Structure formats: C-alpha cells, structure tokens
Amino acid sequence: MRHVAIIGSGPAGFYSAEALQKLYGDEIRVDLIDRLPVPYGLIRSGVAPDHQSIKAVSKRYEKTALSPNLRFLGHVSVGDDVSIEELKQLYDAVMLATGAPHDRPLDIPGSTLPGVVGSAAFVGWYNGHPDFAALDPPLGVAAAAVIGNGNVALDVARILSKTRAEFAGSDIACHALDALDHSAIRAVHLLGRRGPHQIAMTPKELGELGHLEAAAPRVDLEDFPPEADDALLEPGIRKSVTHLRSFAALPQDKAKTIDFDFFAAPVRVEGEGKVERLVVERTRLDDQLRSVGTGETYAIDCGLVVTCIGYQTPPIAGVPYEHGRGRFANADGVIGDGLYAVGWARRGPTGTIGTNRPDGFEVADKIAAACPPGSSGGKAGGAGLDALLAERGVHPVAFSDWQRIEAAETARAREGSPREKFASVDDMIAALGRP
C-alpha cells in the first residue's frame, strides 16, 4: 500500500487525489489535509457567490471524497499541528496544493492606508471566509477604484454594483449582503495599465456588466485601436473586446457607473488617515506591447481601493520558496525527495479551475514513477498521523463532519439562497456539537 498526503482541499488537491486513485486503484490511501474544517478551497470562498454554476464542480469533488481510499482531515494546520518533515516520514509522498490565498502587495506610496484592500481579502469577505469575515471595507464612500483587468477585478466591480435583488439565488454572506445593500458607492473605476486588446477578462463575465439593474459600464472609444484590428485577436479576447465596444452605445441613465480606465497605472494613494484619492499615471504601449509611463497624471477621488493584481502562496517552514514568483521552488512539480507541488502552489496564480486537472495528473505521474504501483514503501501513513495528532490534542474534522456542517448551513439559508455559510471556525465546530 502507498500513502500520500495532499495539503489543501481545493481544486488542485481534489484533481490530484482523483489522478492518484486512477493510477494506483486500491493500492493507495490518500489523506487530504486542510487548515479549515471545510473543503473545496476557492470553489467555496473564491468563486463569485452569484456564479453558482461554477461552484457545482464541488459535486465532482464530493464523489472523490466519498471513495473508500480517501480521507478528508479538516481543521489541521500543517506547520503548526504537524510539520512537513513529520509528514514526509509518515507518507510516501506529500503534495502541496495550498493554492495562493495571499494578496500580492500594491507597492506604491500610501498603499497601507485604511481603505486599501486586497482582492483575496475582499472576495473572502463577501464569500464568508473565516479569515476575512471581519474585514468591514469602507462602503460609505461615493467611489471605489479597482486595480486590475482580469476576471477577479470584474467580480469585484460587479459585486459592488449589484442591487440586493440581483443577489437572489447566490450564497453571498449575509454580513456582506447587508453592508452592500447600504453602500453609498455610485462610481467604480476599473484600472488597467494597458489597453482593451490586452485585457484578461473572459466574454461571459464581461458581458454580465451590460445587464446590471442599477449600473452601466462606460468606455472611451478613444482608448481602442481601429476596429479592424480586432480581427487579429484570439477569438476569446475578440469577443471580450466586442462587449467592451458595445458598452459605448449603452444609455447612461442608471444610478451607478463602472468606468473602464485603460492605460492607467496607479502611482500613489493619498488621504489624511484613510484613502481619499488614487493618483494615476497615463501610459502607452511600446513596440513590445508593454506599458510605459507618459509622465501625465490625474487623480481619482475614491474612498476604497481594491487591488486585483495577483496572489501568493504562503511559505511553509522547511519548504524552498521563490519569493519573486510567490510559489514553492519546484522543477515541474518536484520540490525534493518525496515532496511535490501542484496547482497555484506549483505554477503561481495562473489558469482556470480546470487547468488544475491536467496539472494534478502530471504531478501524480511523477509520484507513480518514484513510487511504482505494486510496491510498498512501508510507511505508516494515516494511522501514524492519527496517532501523532491525538497525542497533540488535535481533533480533525472528517468529511462526514463536513456534511453535517453543510446541512446546518443549508438549514439556516435565507429564502432563495443555497446556504448561509458559517463565517467563523468556532461556529463550524459548534455545529458539530464540539467545544
């Protein structure tokens, strides 16, 4: 029997577990370890709450979790409750699938002023993540600036602009829904260093902005290349640019606006003890399509700045780390003897949820090459971990426990919502009848 520990129960973790099961069949035992008592990672706390169809992939993960040779061990912190070195002694292979849950910092003057919020924190807040439930972003302001030209920036802008009624059917956290319902924000500025042809926004998400009840997207066609140049774009980007061009023809008769500020690089945040404005430098594209500053600046009056500029994997003691890339140091998923990285922990924060599947299968192949099916490493595996955690007074949350937490969240949901998440670890554990 082979024993593998996977740290992190998001998409990368579950796809890797699925790959290992297909390679080894009944000859493997996989322990999926997570710091939180609940599984699914970004599916639960990163995907926008009004995109329930994307969250449905958790049903696939549930099928994997219920297989007899996989265990979920929630509420176990690697680095605190158990070390990487201890796991390597217990398991034939240890896979780091921790994702990239930390915001990349905005490295400009004033970026530490109250009112500057990273997207991981902001998205976690409205998704009910325990780490960010108490965020309390400043919404009693007239305008917000969202820095970034990808789908996360779109999600943030859309969530800031929706009416309460438009969240029907979503699982947005109640504390966030109430706060957004009383928000004073009437203008959202989406800032990108380059132009419309360089956006990383997908057509479906971009098209949603054109159908909001109380907000209208606005673009300046002066920012666009000649329309004939759109034919040179990759099909997905071309569809997105078509959406952007169509925004110019929309009536501007709604209470809120979402302004696309292209060729705009933030240079400093200003304010007396809090965010009051964002100073931006106009940019242009050089011959390599890189943004370069023009020296011309302007100010955007705003009381909230949300940075959607990338994420980082948190370091773990004893694991080599690439600080410049915000990921574990690895060669094609291999960190060292018996230690592997997969998903964003391996690649950095790139790709979609589905990108993690081939990534997981690739790294699983490397484990199978090092630990061939049909052989045994003689490791203690899960039994050894159970004994170690029991000795330390750590009580993992099993998948059956998670199902009880899930049932409790479903039972407390507001009308029309699939669930009302527990936004604290204590409440999750209390739902199990534990102290």
Alpha-carbon Rg of the chain, whole angstroms?
23
Angle between helices 58-65 and 11-24 (to 10 degrees): 40
What's 72-104 look like in SS3? EEECCCECCCECHHHHHHHCCEEEECCCCCEEC
User: Rounded CA gap, 282 and 330, in Å?
Assistant: 38
pLDDT for residue 377: 76
Q: What is the pLDDT of residue 67?
A: 96
User: For the residues of 194-247, what is the DSSP string, one character each?
Assistant: S-GGG-B--HHHHHHGGG-SSEEEE--GGGSPPGGGGGGS-HHHHHHHHHHHHH
CA distance 147 to 156: 10
Q: In sequence order, what are the beta bridge partners of 82?
A: 78
pLDDT string in tens for the chain (435-residue length): 899 999 999 999 999 999 999 999 999 999 999 999 999 999 999 999 999 999 999 999 999 999 999 999 999 999 999 999 999 999 999 999 999 999 999 999 999 999 999 999 999 999 999 999 999 999 999 999 999 999 999 999 999 999 999 999 999 999 999 999 999 999 999 999 999 999 999 999 999 999 999 999 999 999 999 999 999 999 999 999 999 999 999 999 999 999 999 999 999 999 999 999 999 999 999 999 999 999 999 999 999 999 999 999 999 988 999 988 899 999 999 999 999 999 999 998 888 888 899 999 999 999 999 999 877 778 999 999 999 999 999 999 999 999 999 999 999 999 999 999 999 999 999 999 987
Written in H, E and C, the secondary structure of 3-65 is EEEEECCCHHHHHHHHHHHHHHHHHEEEEEECCCCCCCCHHHHCCCCCCHHHHCCHHHHHHHH
**Angle between helix 11-24 and 356-370 (nearest 10):** 40
Contact 357, 15 (CB under 8 A): yes
What domains sit in the chain, N to C, each tagged with a CATH number? 2-101+312-430 (3.40.50.720), 105-307 (3.50.50.60)
Q: What are phi and psi of 188, to 5 degrees?
A: -120, 125
Residue 35: both structure tokens together: 């710091």
Query: What is the per-residue pLDDT for 350?
Result: 84
SS (H, E, C) 172-184: CCHHHHHHHHCCC
pLDDT of residue 338: 95
CA 235, CA 223: separation in Å to the nearest integer?
20
* Cβ 100 vs Cβ 10: under 8 Å: no
In angstroms, how far is the first alpha carbon of the chain from the final one? Answer: 36
